[in-house]
């Protein structure tokens, strides 16, 4: 699943010259916890979050009057065609709750931790459809896929142990998969994985 599948496309953004007070009011009115800060060409310069506003209140950024003075920069961003697992890893690594989504450097959306959690809570049918679609290069008749409560069971025969390992790894990365059980065998060695 790609970031563009779960992101919010109509994203609220502010320029760095906006007043901090106006931006805080926007956060409250829209019931959002942060906004991307963009230049005139819609390139992401940073992010203004509730934490940045609170820093102003606690005298950490006491002199800040404008968004550009209070924002966190540079902001980590992610491309719209990246996997949601990459977005989750980046959020955890950077300790952020949201990522501006870019396409050729321009802001096209935003993805939040809540968006990623919603992607994880998918039906077994949706998970199975994605697993089937992602089996590039595999003979679709050679692998049986069952999904129950997010647990994927793979069965069938592949050409090699490497193919089996690759398939298990790819399936484990699909959002919503909580476990992978392999009953795969392969031609170069009749043992199971």
Q: What is the pLDDT of residues 19-71, one digit of tens each?
A: 999 999 999 999 999 999 999 999 999 999 998 888 867 766 667 789 999 99
At how many degrees (to 10) do helices 84-94 and 113-120 cross? 140
Count up the domains in the chain and report the number: 2
Domain that holds residue 35: 3-119
Identify the CA nearest to 168 among candidates 155, 176, 84: 155
Half-sphere exposure (CA, 13 Å, Cβ side) for 141?
A: 0
Q: Which helix (H) or strand (E) holds 185?
A: strand 179-186
Residue 11 and residue 104 in one domain: yes
DSSP secondary structure, 31-86, as one string:
T-SEEEEE-TT-BEEEEEEHHHHHHHHTTTTTT--BHHHHSBSSPP-EETTSBHHH
Instruction: Tell me, yes or no, whether 146 lies in a domain.
Output: yes
Whichever domain contains 181, its CATH number is 3.30.1340.30
Residue 113 and residue 136 in one domain: no
Give tens-digit pLDDT for 116-125: 888 778 889 9
Instruction: Tell me, yes or no, whether 193 lies in a domain.
Output: no
97, 113 in Cβ contact below 8 A?
A: yes
CA 130 and chain centroid, separation: 16
């Amino acid at each position: 699943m790609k970031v563009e599948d779960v992101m919010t496309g109509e994203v609220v953004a502010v320029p760095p010259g906006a007043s901090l007070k106006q931006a805080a009011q926007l956060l409250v009115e829209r019931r959002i916890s942060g906004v991307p800060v963009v230049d005139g060409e819609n390139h992401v310069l940073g992010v203004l979050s509730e934490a940045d506003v609170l820093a102003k209140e606690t005298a950490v950024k006491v002199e800040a009057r404008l968004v550009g003075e209070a924002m966190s920069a540079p902001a980590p961003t992610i491309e719209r065609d990246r996997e949601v697992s990459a977005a989750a890893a980046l959020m955890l690594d950077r300790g952020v709750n949201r990522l501006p989504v870019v396409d050729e450097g321009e802001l096209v959306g935003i993805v939040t931790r809540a968006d990623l959690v919603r992607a994880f809570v998918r039906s077994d049918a949706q998970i199975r459809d994605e697993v089937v679609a992602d089996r590039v290069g595999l003979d679709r008749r050679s692998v049986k896929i069952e999904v129950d409560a997010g647990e994927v069971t793979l069965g069938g025969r592949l050409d090699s142990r490497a193919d089996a390992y690759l398939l298990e790894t790819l399936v484990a990365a699909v959002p919503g998969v909580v476990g992978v059980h392999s009953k795969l065998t392969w031609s170069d060695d009749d043992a199971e994985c």
